[in-house]
Chain A
Amino acid sequence: MKQRFISTLQIILQLALTTVGLTGQSYPGKPQIIRCRSLEKETFSCWWKPGSDGGLPNNYTLFYSKDSEEKIYECPDYLTSGPNSCYFNKNHTNPWTTYIITVMATNEIGSNSSDPQHVDITSIVQPDAPVNLSLETNTSANMSYLWAKWSPPPLADASFNSHVYHYELRLKPEEKEEWETVSVGMQTHYVVTSLQAGMKYVVQVRCMLDLGEWSEWSPERSIQIRKKRLPPEKPRIIKCRSPEKETFTCWWKPALDGELSTNHTLLYSKEGEEKVYECPDYKTSGPNSCYFDKKHTSFWTIYNITVRATNEMGSNVSDPHYVDVTYIVQPDPPVNITLELKKSERKTYLVVTWSPPPLADVRSGWLTLEYELRLKPEGEEWDTVFVGQQTQYTARSLIPGKKYIVQMHCKPDHHGLWSEWSPEMYTEIPPDFGVKDMVVWIIVGVLSSLICLIMSWIMIMKGYRMMAFILPPVPGPKIKGIDTHLLETGKSEELLSALDCHGFPPTSDCEELLIEYLEVEDSEDQQLMPSHDTPSKNTKIILKETDSDSGRGSCDSPSLLPVKCRESRGLPSTLQTQDGGAKEKKGGKGSWETQYTASEQKTLPCNSESIKPYTWLAAQLPSNQAAMFAYHSTMEAFKITRNTANVNTSPVLVGNEENRQSLYPIAETVYDDVEKISEMEYSRTDQTTVQIRQNQHNDKSPFMNPKRMDYVEVHKVRQDEEPTLLLKHKENSGKTKKCTLPGTSKEYTKVSTVVDHHILVLLPDQRTQNTPVSQEPVAETSQNPQQSQAEKNTSYSTTAPSDSRRDTSGSDYMDPSSFMPFFK
């Protein structure tokens, strides 16, 4: 009946609520009865959870009915058990009755009821947790106990305290997970044995009535279980130290013994005394230490020190520590460290001064300290310097602009330990302007050397013109041994014109040409001509610059040379190559090196004599290529000449220096074995020859002598004991004259070439413009293989200029010819 009533009521309510739900606000949600619980079987409480409130304030009403009656009651006490609960006191609680409980939520729109809950009192009994849990440990003999006490859960109605609870206790070491649960019974205390010493235990209790469920576990309580009680461990003496060689202190590491208080005693005996003393002062140096003041400190005496640790259970003694205070001195760090920057001669240096530690009495001589300093630029490695007994140090070679860190420490002179490092001191080295100056100077130096390089490059490019500009032509010495008349009347003019100025425009260039002379002079110099086997004097052909009136205008007299060129078939080709060589010379070293190689290949088979100078040349090449080539080409040309025309008896042609603009060999007559041999040969064939030799003294390296290298000497001109030189006369129409050696010297004589195997062409300086002249005879010379050799030989003669130019400083005069390819 009642149930049916309730359900119909619900249906009606629900219908009403659904209609109202359309308005936006709604009837309350369904409340839910969470639990009903009796703490002690005599009263009970029920708690519910509200449903949604439907946007409006709700009222909650709890209705209950008993299984024995149909009557519906409302909750007797909404307050005692807190919000949303209903407390049924003893009067409303009947353990023999089943209660049917519903909660209804109501608001303006409607109401909603929970599902009904059937409650049997005996089945919902659960007490609160016990309270006032307290723990104690007790240690007796070897056992540790844990004594736990607690109180039963308090009840609202004090009259119910007669209830009897069953208790359970659980415990575990703090760090473990698993609990050990003990059933205690009805007591409210418990003693735990079998505990692990030194562990901390956590304990909880709970309780239960004879019916129902166990209560919650009480809050945790924990307690430290002491270790077993033992005598202390061995203490250990850590170290002893004397800071000033007058007192000392020893420190020890105390013995561990759990919670027991342990007393430490330091005992010592001194060498030579039986008595054992106790530490005079435990306080001054802090805990676990013993301070020996001056009275108690002796030196050169061994202290036997021990520390005894004592507690209730017994005592333990450290290992003995033997100390002679002499050897344990460790001073404090030095003090008053000052850093002072000083400057001298652009350099900054650092003066560090300091004082000995205040405790140390260094004045009496009792303690002598030595110092060590370390410094570093910030962020770099330490540089450590042992200073000795001084109290000052000067640090040099510091990096300017760096921040330096300085530290000091000290040590007794013999034994003991270094002190701690003093606090760091900083100083900043100012940037060194000296370095900047240096940089500026270096830049200036580099720039100026660059300029020099450019200058010299220009000089090379411009050739002798530069040199001539800087060093104007110097009038050359006259040729002593040549008869002027011979030169004037000879065919030399023809020759010159052929070689030199044919087709050469008489431009103003010609005016600038430096005319050079071949000076053939007598020489009595026995060093140069130690064993000359001819009665005639040595002939030296020296190239000289002429002054302007003697060295110009040669371009205008081209008539002579072509003739001579025809006579001497080898000559034109030589000229040609020489010209090419001159150009190549400007191109650089490499070109004439190849030329040299070519000539070497050609000349080697020609004459075995040439091998010697050649090899020698090669060895000297890097240092003195120019001179070597000059020499060599002269030699070779000459030899070729000799080979090709054995029978000829010809005068030496000496070109007029004014007509000739081609280059001339620079040679100097010298002796050496090879030359002697060749001389003999010439003598036998009765040739009129001119030997042009490079100075090849055994005692001197000719290449170190620029003058010698520059010249070609007419070594011997022989024709039946009557050597002849054909000279080109300056102003002459080109006649060739025979001149005897030694003859009267003539001014303008240069060796232009050796022509026709036995003619020495002497001529003035020649520029590269003579190319057209030399072109003509090429066809002729091509027929003669030996002449082509000569051609090759001459090709590298162009190197001579660079050498002579280099040596101008050591030379008496500037020889512009040396800038030009020279012609043989």
Chain B
Amino acid sequence: GLLLVALLVSHMLLTKEGVTSLPICPNGSVNCQLSLEELFDRAVKLSHYIHFLSSEMFNEFDERYAQGRGFIAKAVNSCHTASLTTPEDKEQAQQIHHEDLLNLILGVLRSWNDPLIHLASEVQTIKEAPETILWKAVEIEEQNKRLLEGMEKIVGRVHSGEVENDIYTPWDGLPSLQLADEDSRLFAFYNLLHCLRRDSHKIDNYLKVLKCRLIHDNNC
């Protein structure tokens, strides 16, 4: 008798858990897929996290390797994604069509696939690179891929037409990360991290704008 009760209770608990862990299917949903809001929520969380990591990593690197070297002055105008014309202020971000903005985000994310893979491996060669930097490089690379997947899903949902798959800018910075000259090499890293911080912030900011525009009708 007791066993039966215990079984029943556990069964109830299990089914209850099952229910709570499956909020995916909203009422009336045909394909049982995540809502756009949920997709955006996750994307924003992820982009927020990625930017947090890249920002931390940049700061750590800056503190450790870039003090007094004037890297910031040299870093001007040298991000490989600079050729992608992205909104530079609020008005631009609000005026651009959301599909175009999504495509731009995709483009930026794709443009970082390569450099992030190399960054994760090359950062190991930095002299006395702290574990925190190494770990973050790997983590960002992984999370960037996940975000890209999520964004593709969002774009697929939002886009009426075909998804443009060709927007992305190639990165040719690998040799600079392998330069023999310590100073030049450190600058190459600095610049890459600086650009990563900037682009991850861009993506985060765009995503937040898009979310407020598409989900909350500009009333976040």
Contact = CB atoms under 8 A, between A and B. Distances in A.
Given A300-B201, A363-B212, A364-B213, A272 B77 contact: yes
Contact of A365 (B55, B91, B199, B213): B213
B94 A414 contact: no
Contact of B89 (A272, A294, A304): A294
B118 interface: no
B109 interface: no
A366 interface: yes
A424 interface: no
Contacts, number: 75
10 contacts: A246-B90, A304-B76, A363-B212, A364-B209, A364-B213, A365-B210, A365-B212, A365-B216, A414-B52, A414-B201
Interface string B45-75: 0001001100100000000000000001101
A368 B205 CA distance: 9
A414 B86 contact: no
Closest 3 CB pairs of A and B: A365-B212, A298-B88, A365-B208
Interface string B195-220: 00011011011001111110010111
A790 to B, nearest CB: 58
A368 B204 CA distance: 11
Interface string A290-303: 00001001111110
A366 B90 contact: yes
A392 to B, nearest CB: 16
Interface residues of B, number: 33
Given A245-B90, A326-B198, 15 more contacts: A271-B77, A294-B91, A302-B76, A322-B73, A322-B76, A324-B198, A363-B218, A364-B212, A365-B211, A365-B216, A365-B218, A366-B90, A366-B208, A413-B48, A414-B204
Interface in A564-617: none
Interface in A276-331: 294, 297-302, 304, 320, 322, 324, 326
A364 B77 contact: no
Interface in B82-103: 82, 86, 88-91, 93-94
A637 B53 CA distance: 84
A299 B88 contact: yes
A547 interface: no
Given A364-B209, A365-B211, A365-B212, A302 B201 contact: no
Contact of B209 (A246, A326, A366): A366
Nearest to A273: B77
B52 A368 contact: no
Interface of B: 48, 51-52, 55, 72-73, 75-77, 82, 86, 88-91, 93-94, 198-199, 201-202, 204-205, 208-213, 216, 218-220
Interface in A453-495: none
A414 B91 contact: no
B220 A300 contact: no
Given A322-B72, A368-B208, A362 B89 contact: no
Contacts of B72: 302, 322
A302 B75 contact: yes
A361 B90 contact: yes
The listed residue with most B CB atoms (<10 A of its CB), out of A299, A304, A326, A413, is: A299
A299 B89 contact: yes
A763 B73 CA distance: 110
Contact of A415 (B55, B208, B216): B55
B102 to A, nearest CB: 14
Nearest to B55: A414
Given A363-B218, A365-B212, A414-B52, A300 B88 contact: yes
A362 B202 CA distance: 16
The listed residue with most A CB atoms (<10 A of its CB), out of B51, B202, B212, B216, is: B212
Nearest to A244: B90
The listed residue with most A CB atoms (<10 A of its CB), out of B88, B93, B202, is: B88
Interface string A392-427: 000000000000000000000111000000000000
Contacts of A363: 212, 218-220
Contacts of A245: 90
The listed residue with most B CB atoms (<10 A of its CB), out of A246, A297, A361, A414, is: A414
Nearest to B205: A366
Nearest to B206: A365
A304 B75 CA distance: 12
A110 B11 CA distance: 139
Nearest to A304: B76
A300 B208 contact: no
The listed residue with most B CB atoms (<10 A of its CB), out of A294, A368, A415, is: A368
Contacts of A304: 73, 76
Given A363-B219, A365-B211, A271 B88 contact: no
Contacts of B216: 365
Contacts of A322: 72-73, 76
A298 B220 CA distance: 23
A271 B77 CA distance: 5
A368 B212 CA distance: 11
A243 to B, nearest CB: 13
Given A271-B76, A322-B73, A364 B90 contact: yes
A5 B195 CA distance: 118
B205 to A, nearest CB: 7
